[in-house]
Amino acid sequence: MAKKYYITTPIYYPSGNWHIGHCYTTVICDALARFHKMKGEEVYFLTGTDEHGQKVEKEAAKRNVTPMAFIDPLVAQLKDMWKLLDISYDRFIRTTDEDHVACVQRIYQRLYESGDIYKAEYEGRYCTPCEAFWTESQLKDGKCPDCGREVTLQKEESYFFRLSKYAPAILKLYEDNPEFLQPKSRVNEMVNNFLKAGLTDLCVSRTTVKWGVQLPFDKKHYSYVWIDALSNYISALGYGTENDALFRKFWPADLHMVGKEIVRFHAIVWPAILMALGEPVPRQIYGHGWLLIGGDKLSKSKQEAAAGELTDPYELVKRYGTDALRYFLLREIPFGSDGEYTGERLLNRINADLANDLGNLVSRTQAMIAQNFGGKLPARGPVEGPDGDLIAMCEALFEKVDADMGALNVPDALADIFAVISRANKYIDETAPWILAKDPAQRERLGAVLYNLAEAVRICAVMLRPFLTKASAAILRSLSFDENAGFETLRFGTLAAGTPIERIPPIFPRIDVKKERAEVEKFLKERHAQTEKAAKPSAPASDGAPMSEGKPEISIDDFAKLELRVGEVVACERVPNSKKLLHETVKIGDKLRSVVSGIAEHYTAEEMVGKRVVVVTNLKPVKLCGVLSEGMILCAEDAQGNLSLVSPERAIASGGAVR
């Protein structure tokens, strides 16, 4: 039976404003998941969103929308980001998913019945207008961090989890399983900062914040943070239901990958909850470091404009591609430690490793086979000169990378692959194929050299599959080799003589760092100015000035010329050969319409199906890229050009008029 591998990322707060720091955890997990899958293991890779809590409740109230209406577009954005970065998760769990909520309720019930959850009073600093409790450390100058008003010491009835009881068991867990928490330094932090002093019980319910899971045994109370969030790792597997085949197969998790600031919850609170439930604890928690900008943690507030650096993953992928961003995140930051992010470091990595080392090796190999052998792979020859060294490095590569990945050392795994790439480039210099090509007596040797290079390229491309998802596929295709090849294909000498070798355009064009830095600077300035403008309130109507921002004022009769209706997208597909267009079939009342919209960069065809949209139904029909469009779907656009579908806030049947 295949070995199983269950890997998770933390579930993300749906805060929007995503930056490359957010991508770090998930890209590493993706590389690990892909690597284990290629080893033939049965992998389950989980990620998702952590959606409950006071912050979401408040933000939604501020905007006069339901928490769900506030969160949904943010979750869609996050999913888009994972798509952009080729994240191969098996499930995207949301803590608002029905099965998760039911599971959390069962967990609370069990812990309550076993006496691990009990009722007591929570005492804290309370801000009455904000209806929020704050801890001492959250206060700003002793006042409410949200509104700046005075806070008072108040008590609230709450349920508590008996965390204190589990301190000795957790210390023993660390002692008996040195692998449980990595890197080692995190164990010392946990022991010295928390466990030694003894643990205090954890407040796990609130009556004031209602955007949470209602407790089954006391309906006034709603879940408060960590039990809800941490349980996602087992609720996703059907824990406690009749449908628990995934739980039985995949639990305990092989790896919970988390940022260092949440190690405490994963390495202390989570095992305690599992112990209380009588379930096995995860095999390993890894607390990775942070991406820093100017020495501080890259975070939502400390971003782009302030730092003068581009940190928006959408824009970074648009400029440099998925693989470049993945490569930087996986290679640049020493694993387990913090690492500084600058655009310059990113560009240097792209140029030095991807454009120069990998890109050159691939294009030189392809070009020489095209020029000398008409694009057909020559035959392998006897091993001569530096051949043996190159072949030995190729043959030893898998074992090295496997050991690195086993130790979760992703940067070293990549360094090992790039060592072979450098060796192959050096091999070109040593064997000088351009000189061999001039001497007809050396034709066989030239063929053998190019064969060895093609094999080195192929082996590196197979090894790079978990890391560089797009480039590895393009390289393998150019060698007429299976782009989904597994590690079983790594034997040197696998390619057959005569295989067509295609010349492809450079996969990583070299970037002019100075020029690009200047362009990014300009882009950031413009974007900042746009955001500022968008944040400015429009002119008040009372002074008689039009409210519009540039377009001429219109009368109600002008507006009445528009026919707007609610429609439901019943089918959707991409318009072939178009990057931007989706072709929707929209049901309006009992009629179907064909509509083409320029939103393929913002929504996938699958996502569109089932969406309730607003359609301009009296637009003159046109053909876009050869496809008939009988209307227009309305979208809202933010300052960054992100689109969001306009949708009726309550359930209105399709066909309903929009006025």
Shortest approach of ligand ME8 to residue 26 CB, angstroms?
8
Tokens representing residue 127 in the block: 């801000």
In our burial notation (b when 16+ CB lie closer than 10 A, e otherwise), range 449-461 reads bbbbbbbbbbbbb
Of 22 and 380, CB closest to ligand ME8 = 22
Shortest approach of ligand ME8 to residue 330 CB, angstroms?
13
Shortest approach of ligand ME8 to residue 188 CB, angstroms?
19
| Sign of torsion over alpha carbons 344, 30, 83, 338 | negative
Tokens representing residue 637 in the block: 């656009």
DSSP letters for 115-137: TSEEEEEEEEEEETTTTEEE-GG
Of 21 and 271, CB closest to ligand ME8 = 21
Q: Total binding residues for ligand ME8 by CB under 6 A?
A: 20
Separation CA 138–CA 140 (nearest Å): 7
**Residue showing tokens 């700046």:** 148
Does residue 291 belong to the site contacting ligand ME8 (CB under 6 A)?
Answer: yes
Instruction: Considering only the stretches 20-28, 207-215, 346-354, 527-535, report the one whose residues sit in contact with ligand ME8 under the rule CB under 6 A.
Output: 20-28
Instruction: Considering only the stretches 9-17, 63-71, 154-162, 642-650, report the one whose residues sit in contact with ligand ME8 under the rule CB under 6 A.
Output: 9-17
Tokens representing residue 611 in the block: 């969406």
Does residue 239 belong to the site contacting ligand ME8 (CB under 6 A)?
Answer: no
Q: How many CB atoms lie within 10 A of CB 244?
A: 14
Does residue 24 belong to the site contacting ligand ME8 (CB under 6 A)?
Answer: yes
Of 257 and 463, CB closest to ligand ME8 = 257
Shortest approach of ligand ME8 to residue 271 CB, angstroms?
13
**For the chain, how far is it from start to end, CA to CA, in angstroms?**
61
Does residue 330 belong to the site contacting ligand ME8 (CB under 6 A)?
Answer: no
Separation CA 50–CA 45 (nearest Å): 17
Tell me the angle at which helices 20-38 and 322-332 cross, rounded to the nearest 10 degrees.
90
Separation CA 216–CA 202 (nearest Å): 19
Of 159 and 335, CB closest to ligand ME8 = 335
Of 195 and 262, CB closest to ligand ME8 = 262
Shortest approach of ligand ME8 to residue 159 CB, angstroms?
19
Shortest approach of ligand ME8 to residue 130 CB, angstroms?
21
Shortest approach of ligand ME8 to residue 24 CB, angstroms?
4
**The binder of ligand ME8 chosen from 13, 180, 328, 418 (CB under 6 A):** 13
Does residue 25 belong to the site contacting ligand ME8 (CB under 6 A)?
Answer: yes
Does residue 235 belong to the site contacting ligand ME8 (CB under 6 A)?
Answer: no
Does residue 230 belong to the site contacting ligand ME8 (CB under 6 A)?
Answer: yes
Phi-psi category of residue 73: left, alpha or beta, with phi > 0 → left and psi -120 to 50 → alpha: alpha
Does residue 258 belong to the site contacting ligand ME8 (CB under 6 A)?
Answer: yes
**The binder of ligand ME8 chosen from 70, 89, 290, 373 (CB under 6 A):** 290
Among 410, 218, 383, 394, smallest CA distance to 329 is for 410
Of 16 and 655, CB closest to ligand ME8 = 16
Three-state DSSP at 30 gives: helix
> With contact defined as beta carbons under 8 Å apart, do 132 and 148 qualify?
no
Tokens representing residue 187 in the block: 């164990």
Of 229 and 633, CB closest to ligand ME8 = 229
Residue 550, burial from CB neighbour count under 10 angstroms (0-12, 13-18, 19+): exposed
**The binder of ligand ME8 chosen from 262, 330, 405, 428 (CB under 6 A):** 262
Does residue 229 belong to the site contacting ligand ME8 (CB under 6 A)?
Answer: yes
Instruction: Considering only the stretches 16-24, 128-136, 210-218, 515-523, report the one whose residues sit in contact with ligand ME8 under the rule CB under 6 A.
Output: 16-24
Shortest approach of ligand ME8 to residue 225 CB, angstroms?
9
**Residue showing tokens 């020559």:** 378
Q: Which residue is nearest to ligand ME8 (CB)?
A: 259
Instruction: Considering only the stretches 8-16, 322-330, 344-352, 610-618, report the one whose residues sit in contact with ligand ME8 under the rule CB under 6 A.
Output: 8-16
Four-point Cα dihedral 314, 44, 272, 174, nearest 10: -90
Does residue 259 belong to the site contacting ligand ME8 (CB under 6 A)?
Answer: yes
Of 76 and 619, CB closest to ligand ME8 = 76
> With contact defined as beta carbons under 8 Å apart, do 332 and 339 qualify?
yes
Separation CA 588–CA 606 (nearest Å): 19
Does residue 18 belong to the site contacting ligand ME8 (CB under 6 A)?
Answer: no
Shortest approach of ligand ME8 to residue 48 CB, angstroms?
9
Q: What angle do CA 227, 256, 82 make, to 5 degrees?
A: 95
Tokens representing residue 293 in the block: 């900008």
Separation CA 643–CA 149 (nearest Å): 37
Of 213 and 595, CB closest to ligand ME8 = 213
Shortest approach of ligand ME8 to residue 51 CB, angstroms?
9
Shortest approach of ligand ME8 to residue 269 CB, angstroms?
10
**C-alpha distance from residue 287 to each of 180, 266, 281 (Å):** 11, 9, 16
Residue 404, burial from CB neighbour count under 10 angstroms (0-12, 13-18, 19+): buried
Does residue 11 belong to the site contacting ligand ME8 (CB under 6 A)?
Answer: yes
> With contact defined as beta carbons under 8 Å apart, do 495 and 482 qualify?
no
Does residue 297 belong to the site contacting ligand ME8 (CB under 6 A)?
Answer: yes
Shortest approach of ligand ME8 to residue 492 CB, angstroms?
38
Phi, psi of 142 (to 5 degrees): 75, 5
Show the binding pattern over residues 34-73: x = contacts ligand ME8 (CB under 6 A), - = does not: ----------------x-----------------------
Separation CA 573–CA 420 (nearest Å): 42
What residues have CB less than 8 Å from 385, skipping those under 6 apart?
430, 431
Does residue 104 belong to the site contacting ligand ME8 (CB under 6 A)?
Answer: no
Residues near ligand ME8, by CB under 6 A? 10-13, 21-22, 24-25, 50, 229-230, 258-259, 261-262, 290-291, 297-299
